[in-house]
Amino acid sequence: MTLHRFAIKELPAAPWKNGGGMTREIVCQPPGASVNHFDWRVSIALIASDGPFSSFVGVDRIITLLSGPGVRLQSSQGPIDHRLSEPLVPFEFAGETPIDARLLGGQSHDLNVMTRRSACRASLQVVRNAHPDWACRAGMLLAVRGCWQLQGTNPQTLEPEQGLWWSGASMAWQLQPQNTEAAMLALKIHFH
């Protein structure tokens, strides 16, 4: 097990095939898995224009607005009509649902979590206050606002837009915000 630190701005940006945005991949597991064969994947997307979301059959998704005015998510073949316009409010949906995204203003950045239904599931929590006992064997912590002290298994300090991820061994921390406006996205991966 290795703890991987990252800074959003240092992650390579890959343009979408349809030209409507860019993706910065944080983690794709297991190691070497392609975008069609992962168990779990986390990325930051820049949505720059209207268009359809890619279909991921058998995958559950969680999308969370990080910055920008957001997008309206609509499905022509289902019940989804959601305004993703409030930052740090996760929205879950099935990856095979055909969804069109329409910008609500300018471009937006969001966090995307994808888990293969047959292998695992994700729970994503927005942490704004001290959390004394946060642990899991695979997951990610991303400081969105403010500085965070992580005390415990492997003490860390995270500045805004910095994070870490791990898989393969349980990690445990006490999450301590250092600012009143602090906010962190805390992801746990639960394997079947």
The Cα 133–Cα 177 span in angstroms is 14
What does the pLDDT read at residue 1? 59
Angle at 4 between CA 169 and CA 120, to 5 degrees: 50
Phi and psi angles of residue 110, each rounded to the nearest 5 degrees, phi first: -140, 160
Task: Using alpha carbons, select from 57, 67, 58, 44 the residue that is nearest to residue 140.
Answer: 44
Domain edges within the chain: 7-117, 122-191
pLDDT along the chain (192 residues), means of 10: 90 84 94 90 95 92 97 88 97 94 95 97 97 92 97 91 94 94 97 92
Task: Using alpha carbons, select from 52, 31, 49, 53 the residue that is nearest to residue 41.
Answer: 31
What does pTM read for this prediction? 0.95
Q: What is the mean pLDDT of the chain?
A: 93
What does the pLDDT read at residue 2? 81
CA distances in angstroms from 125 to 67, 88, 91, 118, 155, listed in the order given = 17, 9, 11, 22, 20
Q: Which CATH number fits domain 7-117: 3.10.129.10, 3.30.450.40, 3.90.1720.10, 2.60.120.10?
A: 2.60.120.10
User: Is there a common fold for 7-117 and 122-191?
Assistant: yes
Contact 119, 192 (CB under 8 A): yes
Count of beta carbons in the 10 Å neighbourhood of residue 82: 16
Query: Which pair of tokens denotes residue 134?
Result: 């946060």
Residues 6+ apart with CB under 8 A from 104: 69, 70, 71, 72, 83, 85
- Three-state secondary structure of 153-179: CCCEEECCCEEEEEEEEEEEEEEEECC
Q: Side by side, which strands form the sheet with 21-29? A: 13-15, 21-29, 40-47, 108-116, 59-67, 91-94
Run of H or E residues at 81: strand 81-84
The Cα 84–Cα 70 span in angstroms is 5
**What is the fold of 122-191?**
Jelly Rolls (2.60.120)
What does the pLDDT read at residue 63? 98
What does the pLDDT read at residue 38? 96
Task: Using alpha carbons, select from 109, 117, 178 the residue that is nearest to residue 149.
Answer: 178
What does the pLDDT read at residue 36? 84
